[in-house]
Amino acid sequence: MSAPTSTTAPAAADAAADARRARVVPTILTVARLTLQEASRRKVLRALVVLTVVLVGLSAWGFSRLTAEDPTMAELTSGQARLVASQLLNLVMFGLSLIAALGTAFLAGPTLAGEVESGQALALLARPVRRWAVLVGKWLGLVAFGSGYIAVAGLAQLLVVQLTVGYWPPDPVGALALLAAQTTVLLTLGLLLSTVISPMASGIVAVGLFGATWVAGVVGGLGAAFGNSGVAAVGTWSRMLLPTDGLWRGAMHGFSDPSALASSFGAEMAGFPFLGFEGLSLAYLGWVALWVAVVLGLASMAFGRRDL
C-alpha cells in the first residue's frame, strides 16, 4: 500500500504548486487595478492636476508673449527661433518631470508602507497571497498611473507649444516614453525605501536623490566641457547609480531640434542643463531595465522579510 501513497503525494504537491502559480497573475492584476483606483482618489492626484494646470497655463502665456514680442518666433523661420522654442520646451518639460517625480515618490511610500502601518496589508496577506505578487501589483498600478500622467500632461504641453509658436519636437513619443521611464525609476526606488523607512521619509529621500543626481549630471557635463575627466566622472557614475538624469537627458534630445543645436552650439556647451546633444544608447536603456528589475527584486525581498 506504500507505493500508491508515494506516487500520489508528489502529484498532489505539484497540483497545489500549479494552483498557486495560477493565482499569481490574477492577484497581480487585481492589486494593480486597486492601486490605480486608490491613487486616483488620493489628494496627491488633485495636487498634480493643480500644479500641471498652473504649469501649462503659465507656459501658454509665456509662449504667447514671446511671439507677440518677437514676430519671427511665430513662424520659426530661423534656426535661432527653433532653438529658443526647443530650449523653452525643455525647461517646461523639466518642470513637468519634477511634478511627476514629486507625485510618484510621495505616492509610492504610502501605497505600501502606509498599508503596513495601518494593518490593511495584514488583512490581505492573511490569505494565500504571495507578498511579492502584491508588491509587483502595486508597482504596476503606480507605473500605469505615472505613465498615464506623463502622457496626458506631456501631450497637453506639446499642443500648447504647437499652437503658440508652431514648434513640434522631432521625437515626442520617444521623449515622453523616457520621461515615463524616469518616473518608473523613481517610484521603484520609493517602493524599496518604503519597505525599510516611513512613508514620508521614503518620499523625501527619493526626491532628494532625484535632485542630487540632476545636480551631479550638470557638474559632470561641465567637467566634460572643460576637459576635466575626474569631474566628468561624477555625472557618469551618478547616471549609473540612479538613471533619472540620464533618462532626462535622453528626453531632452527628443524634444530638441538637432539642426539648430548643431549650428548654434559646440561641444563646450554639452554641460548646459537644458541642451540635449545625444540620444541614449541601447546599452544604457538595457542598464535602466536591469536597474529597475534589481531594485524591484530588492524591494520584494525586503517586503517579504518585514514583520507585519
14: in domain: no
13: in domain: no
pLDDT at residue 127 is higher than 70 = no
Higher pLDDT, 300 or 40: 300
pLDDT at residue 83 is higher than 90 = no
User: Do 244 and 213 touch, CB atoms closer than 8 A?
Assistant: yes
pLDDT of residue 204: 86
- If we measure between CA atoms, which residue out of 222, 227, 271 comes closest to residue 249? 271
The domain total for the chain is 1
pLDDT of residue 298: 92
Average pLDDT over residues 109-133: 61
Nearby residues of 77 by Cβ (< 8 Å), 6 or more positions away: none
pLDDT of residue 14: 46
pLDDT of residue 188: 92
218: in domain: yes
pLDDT at residue 186 is higher than 80 = yes
Domain span including residue 245: 26-305
Nearby residues of 269 by Cβ (< 8 Å), 6 or more positions away: 225, 275
How far apart are alpha carbons 140 and 279 in whole angstroms? 27
Give the pLDDT band (50/70/90) at residue 99.
confident
| Other beta carbons within 10 Å of 14 | 10
pLDDT at residue 114 is higher than 50 = yes
11: in domain: no
DSSP label at residue 112: I
DSSP label at residue 256: S
236: in domain: yes
How far apart are alpha carbons 104 and 183 in whole angstroms? 7
Average pLDDT over residues 34-53: 79
pLDDT of residue 235: 84
pLDDT at residue 179 is higher than 70 = yes
User: Do 129 and 31 touch, CB atoms closer than 8 A?
Assistant: no
pLDDT of residue 207: 87
19: in domain: no
Give the pLDDT band (50/70/90) at residue 173.
very high
Average pLDDT over residues 98-120: 71
Model confidence over 239-295: pLDDT tens digits? 999 999 999 989 988 888 776 665 555 555 555 666 666 778 999 999 999 999 999
Q: Which three cell numbers stand for residue 229?
A: 575627466
pLDDT at residue 94 is higher than 80 = yes
Q: In the chain, what percentage of residues exceed pLDDT 70?
A: 74
- If we measure between CA atoms, which residue out of 291, 105, 282 comes closest to residue 208? 105
Model confidence over 198-255: pLDDT tens digits? 778 888 888 899 989 988 888 888 887 777 888 888 888 999 999 999 999 899 888 8
Q: Which three cell numbers stand for residue 7?
A: 506516487
- If we measure between CA atoms, which residue out of 76, 82, 93 comes closest to residue 259? 82
- If we measure between CA atoms, which residue out of 98, 117, 301 comes closest to residue 192? 301
pLDDT at residue 10 is higher than 60 = no
DSSP label at residue 308: -
pLDDT at residue 70 is higher than 70 = no
| Dihedral sign (CA 242, 245, 248, 253) | negative
Mean pLDDT rounded to a whole number for the chain: 78
79: in domain: yes
Average pLDDT over residues 112-127: 55
pLDDT at residue 92 is higher than 70 = yes
pLDDT of residue 16: 44
283: in domain: yes
In the chain, alpha helices (H) = 2-41, 43-69, 71-75, 79-109, 115-118, 120-125, 131-165, 172-194, 199-225, 229-241, 244-255, 258-264, 282-305
User: Is residue 170 packed enough to be buried (19+ CB in 10 Å), middle (13-18) or exposed (0-12)?
Assistant: middle
pLDDT at residue 15 is higher than 50 = no
- If we measure between CA atoms, which residue out of 99, 72, 275 comes closest to residue 167? 72
In the chain, the amino acid numbered 281 is S
